[in-house]
Amino acid sequence: MASEETAKPRRADAQRNYDKLLAAAREIFREHGAQASLDDIAKRAGVGPGTLYRHFPTRDDLIDAVMREWSEDVDSDSDEVIAAGLDAQETLRTWFGKFVENIGVYRGAAAKVMSAMDDESSPIYRKCQVLVGANDKVLTHLAGRGELRDGVDSREVMRLVSGIATVADQSHLSVDESTPMLDIVIQGILRDPSAP
């Protein structure tokens, strides 16, 4: 298997360390959440703390790298959901459900995404744009079929759903336990079936 990132050219040992750090970060973030000790990550990767800082100057840079493949998964989910041809309500349930589930893999990630959405200076900002774009695709698809209420802004919906993901994360709710909240949002953005 090739190295994790195909990005810029690095010395072989640097690339190896980069990969080990990323793998260690994934493990430790999964175990202890996105606030885990960076020192532990360096230890698990078997490198000095300085090496971690060389590759990832801030915690968010490390989180950003960990999120890369993950945000691509979310994006492809949005295409699948649209292609599935479900009705509007089921489309949103599936899409929001997958979103909350995916973002919940790393504890603390939902809060990071939530606050990075409106912060261009955050290293995670661009990754958030992928998520915002994916959500916009789904909502635009439904809007094109006249299924949404007037004035629904996909950005606000994204904020709401990432807020729900954060609630689910911090209150240790399962995906099932977050559906009542998601259903309220869905009712709030879908046009009434009784309308002309």
Q: Is position 90 an interface residue for its own copies (rule: CB under 8 A)?
A: no
Token pair 């020192």 is at which residue? 39
Return d(Cα 112, Cα 34) in angstroms, integer: 9
The Cα-based distances of 89 to 62, 71, 74, 99, 141 in angstroms read: 36, 24, 19, 15, 13
Looking at 1, 8, 146, 194, which residue binds its own copies (CB under 8 A)? 194
CA distances from 63 to 4, 35, 156 (A): 15, 10, 24
User: DSSP E strands: which ranges in the chain?
Assistant: none
Q: Does 166 bind DNA (CB under 7 A)?
A: no
Reduced to 3 states, what is the DSSP secondary structure of residue 148?
strand
State the DSSP code for 190. Answer: B
The stretch among 8-16, 74-82, 117-125, 161-169 that binds DNA (CB under 7 A) is 8-16
138 touches 91 (CB < 8 A): yes
Q: Which stretch binds its own copies (CB under 8 A): 48-56, 59-67, 74-82, 147-155?
A: 147-155
Nearest distance, CB of residue 42 and DNA, angstroms: 7
Q: Is 109 in the site for its own copies (CB under 8 A)?
A: no
Residues at the site binding its own copies, with contacts judged by CB under 8 A: 111, 114-115, 117-119, 149, 152-153, 156-157, 159-160, 162-164, 166-167, 170-173, 180-181, 183-189, 192, 194-195
Q: Which residues bind DNA (CB under 7 A)?
A: 10-11, 13-14, 17, 36-40, 46-51, 53-55, 57-59
